[in-house]
Amino acid sequence: MSSSNIREPQAALWGFYSFKRNELLKELEQSFKNPTLGPGALPEKKTQLIQIIGGIAPHAGYSYSGPCAAWLYKEIGENKPHVDTIVLIGTNHSGFGGAITTTTYFSAWLTPLGRVEVDLELIKLLKKEYRALDDDALAHMREHSLEVQLPFLQLIYGDTFKIVPIVVKAVDHVQAEEFARALKNVVTSLGRDIVVISSSDFTHHGSIYDYVMFTSNISSNVKRLDMEFINAIVELDTKKFLSLIRKYDATVCGFGAIAIIMEYAKLVEGRAKLLKYYNSAEITGEEDVVVGYASILFYR
């Protein structure tokens, strides 16, 4: 195996964001400057007011969820001038790999904004600390939930950070807690300054998703449902969050990734707050397909 395997951008080919550098930069800028759905401005360097632990960001196409994600990246950009490694925990859409899966096959990931190195040293120790951590390139080959976060991070940090890519299937409270503890132990032993970002969209409603709970006022009902999940997240009540996922047979695609960051935040004595929520119906005006997007900050 060559150590110079580069993961080429996939999500750009599928239209999640522009493949052309200048157009991508414009898309990112528009996400930040969106006056209604976005934070309204690009990140400004300011004195570190809070300690950033990480956050939850959506992963739809930028025209949909970009402004929502920009809320989180504005907070990170303004309060975290430097970071060694970003631990990206995403949804496993492909089904490849185990419950929690990384990949050491790629030494770097590419986007139109350049390349991001992988923190292979951290992954190696994490695999020792958490034996159930799978290592499978296929689980990451066609996965977009991590990749769409990278241009936001490159806008803030350039090429000065590394990543640890992880995708998660359905995990229970014990698995989430054990993995979060393993991550904390490894990060502490290496002395890494990290940020953890869990990538998830919220409720996917409509017959296309085989999930129809509401027949009228769908957008506001989806929002009400998503706020139940979000309130449990902000309370850092992982058991309650996972029980709500089961109760509603929910379509929150990255609930496993969310459970892990909640457990990690508790281990480092963090807090959480909702920065922004909206759903796709508020952009399209269409209620036959509705997907919820939330930007949630974890901090000290």
Predicted local distance difference test score (pLDDT) of residue 219: 98
- The reply to whether 198 falls in a domain is no
- The reply to whether 194 falls in a domain is no
What's the first-to-final CA gap in the chain, in angstroms? 41
Predicted local distance difference test score (pLDDT) of residue 2: 46
For tokens 């709500």, the residue is 244
Tokens coding 259: 């459970």
- The reply to whether 199 falls in a domain is no
Domain tally for the chain?
Answer: 1
Q: CATH number of the domain at 27, please.
A: 3.40.830.10
| Whether the Cβ atoms of residue 165 and residue 53 lie closer than 8 Å to each other | no
- The reply to whether 57 falls in a domain is yes
- The reply to whether 247 falls in a domain is yes
Q: Rounded to two decimals, what is the model's pTM?
A: 0.96
Q: Cα dist. 6→15, 101, 115 in Å?
A: 20, 18, 9
- The reply to whether 37 falls in a domain is yes
- The reply to whether 197 falls in a domain is no
Instruction: For the beta carbon of residue 277, count every other beta carbon within 10 angstroms.
Output: 19
- Cα atoms found within 13 Å of the Cα of residue 271, Cβ hemisphere only: 6
Q: Cα dist. 290→8, 62, 72, 241, 287 in Å?
A: 30, 16, 22, 21, 6
- The reply to whether 224 falls in a domain is yes
| Whether the Cβ atoms of residue 79 and residue 45 lie closer than 8 Å to each other | no
| Whether the Cβ atoms of residue 86 and residue 131 lie closer than 8 Å to each other | no
Predicted local distance difference test score (pLDDT) of residue 12: 87
| Whether the Cβ atoms of residue 300 and residue 268 lie closer than 8 Å to each other | yes
Query: What domain range includes position 177?
Result: 6-188+204-299
Q: What is the pLDDT along the chain (300 residues), one digit of tens a residue?
A: 444 799 999 998 889 999 999 999 999 999 999 999 999 999 997 777 899 999 999 999 999 999 999 999 999 999 999 999 999 999 999 999 999 999 999 999 999 999 999 999 999 999 999 999 999 999 999 899 999 999 999 999 999 999 999 999 999 999 999 999 999 999 999 999 999 999 999 999 999 999 999 999 999 999 999 999 999 999 999 999 999 999 999 999 999 999 999 999 999 999 999 999 999 999 999 999 999 999 999 999
**Number of residues in the chain:** 300
| β-strands 162-168, 114-118 pairing | parallel
Burial (CB count <10 Å: 0-12, 13-18, 19+), residue 95: exposed
